[in-house]
Structure 1
């Protein structure tokens, strides 16, 4: 510390200078051309500057607080001055204590006290990086060293720090965090996939999200009845129609002792359409297809392939469109039929169902080789093709007499003349109980003729011998 006078160095030195502490304690007595007199408390602690009468004081202690006076004689004139020095101790030992660190939002209060060593202390509280100021919920007492928060909220978790200052130093305490339990609140029940209608066999995930500290415990309910599942997620795998209903979750906080229940989430599992009578006879049978599904506000639409089925003389749509009746079915009624069930929030289409309706019809008998005349010893194949569902059963006839052969192909190997005649095939359908016979195919087996001619001149004539 240097006590600086307002004097500037001059050609004439000071005749004498006397520095004193609190008037009565001499610091230094300077007399020109004489030895300086230094007070015993200041030995080794001061430096005197004769040209300006200034004084440097070192190794300050609290005892150096007080009034300093200087009297000087310069060129016959008495000069004097005085000043006050205050020595402060640095702030130390800053500590924050809390009445509690485990609190419940809206139902608890907390008091924080800040202690420190040092004089002339001032206190300031910080929540994170923001200064804490007094309000309806916040009280600052004991010169700012005590902080009381009434009806704590989650925003009062901290970290809280106490900043203690005096004119020469500032010290900030270690942080103190409050554990403030809150919730459950802002509950939301999320379904994934998000639609409310699902096909039988689907996998569904329900997730319950909620704001809670500490984390909430969960219960699940279906139509108000508690399920055994716990945890924030409920997984429904391979769902069936019996699992349709209103699902809800309840969250409970073991600290706040509060609970909250979600709004119900409706899940409807749609059954696949039930289709009947798929084995039919064209022109002589009718079929009824019925479509069943779970849910509300359902509408039904039938598809034959990609085309919508509409009512006509042969087609009846009843029971709100859920039942389809086809009278005197034809092959064009084979499908595939699908039932599309809709409501305002979802659409589900059934698996396809095909109807079995066919023949026999369009029978055709094919001869290979295709000529109608064959040499003795030839191999001949006759093939009977026909449209039929299910596949037809075959009979073969020669000149109206049934042969032993069956199957769609008749093979004649190494034929002779006895194999000649009119061949036909008959196809039968054991479902439609109908049969159809082909047009006859004529097969003629010929013996190839061989001639030997012998000629001789007998009396100017000839003789021919013919042998078969």
Structure 2
């Protein structure tokens, strides 16, 4: 036995003593077939005397000193030792290289170091595949997936998309290579993948996706426009939908009878009353061979309300009688409402409704029942109304006669008659039982004593056929003058006499004032050279306004409206000494002032206004 072998045996013998100072890290090491593996020590580079590596039952596979390497046959070209750290590289490994490796390192100084580690050499994972009997499944069926691969000691994991499969409905068998989905649902479509791994590699299969047939279910029927009632002549579209894979075929039913058409829509154009009924759709899945029918949908086709009318049981309503108002209409009638003057009517002791509000009945008409009665006919798609105007006929009653009870011979007699009545009553006048006039008013000029007696006014209502009357007694007498009358005549005559006397006095007084006025004027001339300055001097022009005279009793006597026309007289200023002259008379004065005044050669004429009242 050579020296190196002895040293290796010695080191192995004392391995227990140096185990605590193993130069190798904790193992094991894993390598793939055909790959390289490095057994790296924990030592820093340092001069070493010798390095010995051994493998399992083979023993020493390489001994390395500072001068040479000794390699066991079969390992030539596959081993390399780092002489400064003791690390070993093993190349092109195979599964036969799996096992326990030992190392003995003898430094130039110090104690001997020994260590062991394990190498696992495995075939890499490859060719990962999923096998299944079918990818076209029915909901609630079962499916089995098998995963196969190449490689050493594979480990299997299953994924649905990116999530690992752990559902209760899944069974994993055959070391994980087989997955069974029990009671497949529509959510188990995948994609499913198989992940295979070992110590040295891993691989994933191509995804597998299932087509899962299910349904039909949740079959739903809708109508457009979305309403229960539809006007006659309109268009209606029915739409059917279902949850299903693959897409279903639809069959339409009207009152349970199949109709033509297989699409998801069923159109009703220009619908009529005979289209009213129950509609439903049936969905059929040719894959699952299942079918399901929707809930029935009721379509009601209605006619618009038209031709509303209200008729009365009698043409002329009379107070105290009964009356029925009947409301009729064409179209689809649902309800009828009655209103009076815009307010809803309700049943009372006197008002009743019959035949679903078709008839409005009055038990006993009253005049307060006058008004506008409206019947409103209503349906879900339209409404219309009609108004009937009721005038309750009544009377005559409360006959009243207006006129005198007593009148004098020769006077005019006027009598008028009135009555409460609808329509207006006709009137007849009777005098002492004899018809004398046909009108509400009776007039007679210059009555006589024979016109005394009973005057009767008869009022007749042509509708109610009622007559009522009232009587007025008239007394015609001659006129007589008593003591009071005579006294009145005397006083009247005296008043007239006093009035005449006052009038005469007023005229005399007026004439007097006029003459006085004429004397007060001065410096007036007609151009003949007459000078009146002797009577003028510095006297002022006076005006008199005579309109009223007071009589002896203190009363005023009005003369009436007087002429207020103003007249003007020319006054010539004469500076010559006054000549003796007498004043003109009133009449002469009036004649002069009416003539045009002469124009002087000096300062010009001056005028004074004289108002005659």
Q: Same fold (TM over 0.5)?
A: yes
Q: Which residue in 1 is equivalent to 2:175?
A: 143
Aligned pairs for 1:360-399 (under 5 A) are none
Give 1:139 deviation, angstroms.
1.6
C-alpha distance in 2, partners of 1:277/1:8? 120
Which of these residues, 52, 56, 59, is aligned with residue 85 of structure 2? 52
SS in 1 for 2:216: strand
Alignment map for 1:122-161 (pairs within 5 Å) = 122-133=155-166, 135=168, 137-161=169-193
Matches within 5 A, 1:33-182: 34-39=67-72, 41-74=74-107, 75=109, 77-106=111-140, 108-133=141-166, 135=168, 137-182=169-214
Instruction: Check whether the contact 1:111–1:147 (CA below 8 A) recurs between aligned residues.
Output: yes
> Which residue pairs with 1:2 in the alignment?
38
Q: CA deviation at 1:129?
A: 2.6
User: 2:84 is paired with a residue of what secondary structure?
Assistant: coil
**Local SS of the residue matching 2:215:** strand
Contact 1:19–1:29 (8 Å) recurs in 2: yes
TM-score normalised by length of structure 1: 0.61
Contact kept in structure 1, 2:250 and 2:284, CA below 8 Å: yes
For residue 111 of structure 1, report the CA deviation from its aligned partner.
0.9
Aligned to 1:320: 356
Equivalent of 2:56 in 19, 22, 25: 22
Aligned pair count reads 340
**CA–CA separation in structure 2 for the residues paired with 1:253 and 1:324:** 59
Q: For the structure 1 residues 71 and 167, does the alpha-carbon distance in structure 2 shift closer, same or farther, using more than 3 Å as the test?
A: same
Q: 1:323 to 1:219 in 2, by over 3 A?
A: farther
CA deviation map 1:420-452 (0-9, x unaligned): xxxxxxxxxxxxxxxxxxxxxxxxxxxxxxxxx
Aligned equivalents of 2:352, 2:267: Cα separation in 1:
42
Alignment of 1:202-221 (within 5 A): 202-221=234-253
- Partner SS, residue 155 of structure 1: coil
Flag the 1:44–1:323 CA change in 2: closer, same or farther, 3 A.
farther
The answer as to whether partners of 2:216 and 2:283 remain within 8 angstroms in 1 is yes
Q: Name the CA shift for 1:353/1:61 in 2 (closer, same or farther; >3 Å).
A: farther
Judge conservation of contact 2:55–2:99 (CA < 8 Å) in 1: yes
* TM-superposed deviation, 1:37: 2.9
Larger helix percent: 2
CA contact (8 A) 2:307 2:330 kept: no
1:226–1:305 Cα change, 3 Å? farther
Residue aligning to 1:193:
225
> Judging changes above 3 Å, is the alpha-carbon distance between structure 1 residues 262 and 241 closer, same or farther for their aligned structure 2 residues?
same
Give the alignment of 1:240-251 within 5 angstroms: 240-251=272-283
- Unaligned 5+ runs, structure 2: 1-36, 317-323, 362-370, 389-613
Which secondary structure does the structure 1 equivalent of 2:48 belong to?
coil
Partner Cα separation in structure 1 for residue 159 and residue 121 of structure 2: 28
1:291 aligns with 2:329: yes
Cα offset for 1:117?
A: 0.8
* CA deviation profile, 1:178-216 (whole Å, cap 9, x unmatched): 222111112222222222111112222222222111111
Is the 1:272–1:291 contact (alpha carbons within 8 Å) kept by the matching residues of 2?
no
Give how far 1:156 is off: 2.1
Which of 274, 288, 296 does residue 256 from structure 1 map onto?
A: 288
- Is the 2:129–2:147 contact (alpha carbons within 8 Å) kept by the matching residues of 1? yes
Contact 2:309–2:328 under 8 Å retained in 1: no
Matches within 5 A, 1:315-464: 319-321=355-357, 339-341=377-379, 347-350=380-383
Per the TM alignment, residue 244 of structure 1 is displaced from its structure 2 partner at its CA by: 0.7
Larger radius of gyration: 2
Give the C-alpha shift of residue 141 in structure 1. Answer: 0.9
Distance 1:179 1:212 in 2: 12
Deviation at 1:6, TM superposition (A): 4.0
Shift in Å, 1:5: 2.7
Distance 1:86 1:171 in 2: 19
Q: Measure, in 1, the Cα distance between the counterparts of 2:264 and 2:201.
A: 52
Q: Cα offset for 1:288? A: 7.5
Partner Cα distance (1:31, 1:120) in 2: 39
TM-score, length basis structure 2:
0.48
Superposition deviation, residue 101 in structure 1: 1.9
Question: In structure 2, how many angstroms separate the alpha carbons of the residues matched to 1:53 and 1:140?
Answer: 47
Q: Could you say what secondary structure the match of 2:270 adopts? A: coil
CA distance in 2, matches of 1:169, 1:94: 12
Distance 1:205 1:317, change over 3 A: farther
Alignment partners' CA distance in 2, 1:240 and 1:303: 33
* Distance (whole Å) between structure 1 residues aligned to residue 214 and residue 94 of structure 2: 53
Q: Is the 8 A contact 1:47 1:56 kept in 2?
A: yes
CA contact (8 A) 1:290 1:324 kept: no
Question: Aligned-pair distance for 1:145?
Answer: 0.7
Tell me, which stretches of 5 or more residues in structure 1 are unaligned? 326-331, 342-346, 356-468
TM-aligned CA deviation for residue 55 of structure 1: 1.6
Do the aligned partners of residues 305 and 82 (structure 1) sit closer, same or farther apart at CA in structure 2, a change above 3 Å counting? farther
Change (3 A) 1:64 1:253: same
